[in-house]
Structure 1
Amino acid sequence: MDVTTWYLEQTSPGDLVAAKPPRLEIEVVRAEIPNPEFSRFLYTAVGGDWHWTDRLAWSYGRWTALLERPGFETWVAWHRGTPAGFAELEAHPEGEVEITSFGLLPWAIGQGLGGHLLHTGTARAWDLASRWPGLPGTRRVWLHTCTLDGPHALANYRARGFRVYQEKLNEPGDRPEGPTPGPWPGARG
């Protein structure tokens, strides 16, 4: 199967479009203490069904180094004390902030949470410099997604005001068959 990757951006806080209120009560909170175990859990729990594998071989030290970088933040959506999803933000030079990982845990998909979490995470990308003295103000927020991600990912990004600035057809790729690499293979059923 051919894999298409879309690179999307916002160039002004005014680009951000609010989402409908979520159907469930959600609180989105910054995980302020760098915690490799929790971050790896979120990465595998959200990305397992989409075969996110880039970070699976990372050492504890590599996770720690990422999480301790100035301008790196993890925002977690919680419902009744249970994690529902997360958004990772990473500051880059010259006021650019990348949403490096974003998604919902399998139980939270289809609950109307994705738009709210993306809106909140993107708003936090726009005001990231207010929490990190010495970083320049955000002038651009960007991310990428591909045909291997969740079927509603691209539509959610566009609905929140992100615009495609590059589309790339990659070498043919296959979605691996068999168990997913998440913490509980096949959790979504």
Structure 2
Amino acid sequence: MTDPGQLNSKPCPDGLSIVEAEEKEFRFNRYLYQLVGEPWEWTDKLKQSDAQWQDYAERDTLRTWAAYYRGTIAGYFELEKQADDTVQIAYFGLAPRFIGRGFGGHLLSRALEEAWNWAPCKRVWVHTCTLDHEGALANYQARGMQIYRTETED
């Protein structure tokens, strides 16, 4: 997405709230990564040490938001500021029990809004792959994101 005007926001469902984790705590990020990523085989960071997690999650260029439904964590997203004034949605997703309840569209809308508000920002981007939920790409596109590049790996 290269312009905030491209955003096609989805309204917030009743009972859902999204809060930034302003007090950085790497254990929280690790928990969110495990909770949301387990069904999608997010395993690349699981072997990292506490020090590696702390270096990753507690730096100034990373911000984290958690979605709550009736007090339970329903999902999260992490935004990572890049040196070229772009913002990557580093991680995004819902906890397994909250998939299919209509929360993903609003969570992504909020991620995109927060990315654009993290000035300066000239582009917001995300990586996705065939291991992600089958609706992930459609959600990205429905919110106004466009495919920039595709790659095929063996």
TM-score (norm 2): 0.96
Q: Which runs of 4+ in 1 moved over 4 A?
A: none
Q: Deviations over 1:73-110 (max 9, x none)?
A: 01111111111000100000121100010000011101
Q: Say which of 93, 97, 103 aligns to 1:103.
A: 93
Q: Paired residue for 2:65? A: 75
For 1:34 and 1:20, how far apart are their aligned partners in 2?
A: 28
Q: Is the strand fraction higher in 1 or 2?
A: 1
In structure 2, runs of 5+ residues without a counterpart are none
Give 3-state SS (helix, strand or coil) of 1:166's partner.
Answer: coil
Give 3-state SS (helix, strand or coil) of 1:124's partner.
Answer: helix
Give 3-state SS (helix, strand or coil) of 2:149's partner.
Answer: strand
Structure with the larger RCO, 1 or 2 (CA within 8 Å, 6+ apart): 1
- What's the Cα RMSD here? 1.0
Between 1:68-77 and 1:87-96, the stretch displaced more is 68-77
Contact 1:15 1:161 in 2 (8 A): yes
Q: Which of the two has higher C-alpha Rg?
A: 1
The percentage of aligned residue pairs carrying the same residue is 45
Contact 1:87 1:101 in 2 (8 A): yes
Residue type at the aligned position of 1:81 = G
Give 3-state SS (helix, strand or coil) of 1:41's partner.
Answer: helix
Is residue 2:14 matched to residue 1:31? no
For 2:65 and 2:46, how far apart are their aligned partners in 1?
A: 20
Give 3-state SS (helix, strand or coil) of 2:22's partner.
Answer: coil
In structure 1, runs of 5+ residues without a counterpart are 1-9, 130-136, 172-189
TM-score (norm 1): 0.79
Is residue 2:143 matched to residue 1:160? yes
Q: Paired residue for 2:9? A: 18
Q: What is the aligned residue count? A: 154
The 5 Å alignment of 1:1-189 reads 10-22=1-13, 24-129=14-119, 137-171=120-154
Between 1:46-55 and 1:24-33, the stretch displaced more is 24-33
Give 3-state SS (helix, strand or coil) of 2:18's partner.
Answer: strand
